[in-house]
Amino acid sequence: MALLAKRPNGTQDVVPNEVYKWQTVESVVRDTAQQFGFREIRIPTFEETGLFVRSVGDTTDVVQKEMYTVSSSGDKTFTLRPEGTAGTIRAVIENGILNDGLPQKVYYTLSCFRHEKAQKGRLREFHQFGCELLGAASPSADADVIALADSVLKRLGLRNIVLNINSIGCPECRAKYREALKAYFEPHRSELCATCQDRLDKNPMRLLDCKSEEDQAIAKDAPLITDYLCEDCAAHFETVKKQLGIMGIDFTVNPKIVRGLDYYTRTVFEFISNDIGAQGTVCGGGRYDGLVETLGGKPTPALGFAMGLERILLTMEAQGCEFMEEKTCDLYIAAMGEAAAEKTVEIVTRMRDEGFFVEYDLVGRGLKAQMKYADKIKAKYVIVLGDSELESGSAKLKNMATGEQTDISLGEELLDDFGAQYYELMMSTDDDFRSFVEAFADNGDDK
Ligand SMILES: [Zn+2]
Ligand SMILES: [Zn+2]
């Protein structure tokens, strides 16, 4: 049999055996964002192309080379989102969220699409966790957003992650810096790649993140933005650093991170891992006080970050981080004969209503094959039901890990009796279950 179609290059299937890794990351991200006061926002997968041209910037590789764009009837074109910020800000403005009191804090986990050369850790459809904080100009907001990213990475168990921060100033400091960059690169114009020759006139800061090695060598001694900060921008940056110190977050000032998009202002930052080779940035973000206005909203200071979830997962795997355990079947009921099969359906229904994870035979297997299947799906307990069990109203409950068997009534007491056994098993084998129960008991004591 031949497969009719294959997975497109640069995309990934997440199969049930692997999905617990994603669920681990998603649950840490959700819980942490919530603790910092961020609420989830969900936006469309595609937007009008103009949104990305305006916000991501028409001199970027993303807009120039990597967008998936389709045109529909009429002359409108739509683009699969290459990142999450533009659509999120668009939605925040369009839904009047900024009128609900400031700051507003939103987060998202979503897929993004870029037509790039596919490689390990860089896919054409990839996933991001991102957050945006809108309506706060103070340096505390910068530190708080960085602290959120830092907490997520630490709670995932990641190690050897380095935080680099920089300030790229305001439009005023940047105008002077651009002139200095132009003056520096002009004598090298003919040695630069074609894209950068164009950028030299339009946006010389973009030259600093060109991927060409020749261009990187030329850029090595270029002037640094930190030497061009105005008084206000310098003071803002000092306060961000001070607050990070109070929070106990280690960082390195790296004047080479620039994010040369027009709407970026002041603080920019990157979390970098050295455990996944050259593709080391696991999180990047910064302040973009000009973006809301660029997209047609009232001038509103804002900042945020995005984390590449594929890279986070690669790093977690490389570092042997722990993932949430997959839930396994609590009870498998193996039945022999028609009457037992009917009784099984009745019991399974009752137990599922109580919240237990219960399975039974759906393919018509014999008893031996049912037992083998129960073992394969790692069922914690098995009950075997046949005519004699139906007659006596009682069956054997087998603990699959120890082989231990106990009698269990099939009547009204079944749920309570199974519940008691299950509770004991979980208390002795599952740390999460035990700490949850203990925390609950502690709460009760306080009242
Ligand atoms: Zn400034
Ligand atoms: Zn270049």
The HSE-up count of residue 2 (CA atoms within 13 Å, CB side) is 2
Render pLDDT for 17-36 as a digit per residue (tens, 0 to 9): 999 999 999 999 999 999 99
* 287 Cα–ligand 1 center, Å: 13
235 Cα: distance to centroid of ligand 1 (angstroms): 10
Domains and CATH numbers, the chain: 19-170+230-319 (3.30.930.10), 171-228 (no CATH), 331-429 (3.40.50.800)
Could you tell me the distance, in angstroms and rounded to a whole number, from the CA of residue 222 to the centre of ligand 1? Answer: 19
pLDDT at residue number 259 = 72
Distances (CA, A) of 293 to 54, 66, 298, 332, 434: 11, 25, 6, 59, 51
119 secondary structure, DSSP code: B
Residues with CB under 5 A from ligand 1 (ion): 169-170, 172-173, 230, 233
Nearest 5°: CA angle at 380, between 379 and 381?
A: 95
Query: 55: CA distance to ligand 2 center in Å?
Result: 21
- Show Cβ contacts of residue 351 under 8 Å, excluding neighbours closer than 6 positions: 331, 358, 414, 415, 418
CA of 239 to the centre of ligand 1 (A): 14
**Alpha-carbon Rg of the chain, whole angstroms?**
28
State residue 447's pLDDT score. Answer: 45
DSSP 93-104: HHTTGGGG-S-E
pLDDT of res. 56? 87
Strands, sheet with 405-409, edge to edge from the N-terminal-most edge strand: 358-360, 331-335, 381-385, 394-399, 405-409
Q: Would you state the pLDDT for residue 205?
A: 86
Separation between Cα atoms, residue 251 and residue 238, nearest integer Å: 13
Cα–ligand 2 centroid distance for 211 (angstroms): 6
**Under-50 pLDDT residues of the chain:** 447
Distance from C-alpha of 40 to C-alpha of 109, rounded to nearest angstrom = 8
Q: Which ligand is closest to the CA of 175, given by its number?
A: 1
- Res 261: pLDDT: 67
Instruction: Determine if the pTM surpasses 0.85.
Output: yes
For ligand 2, the distance from its centroid to the CA atom of residue 213, given in whole angstroms, is 8
Residue 27, phi then psi, degrees to nearest 5: -75, -35
- For residue 15, CA distances in Å to 1, 21, 61, 124 come to 21, 11, 32, 18
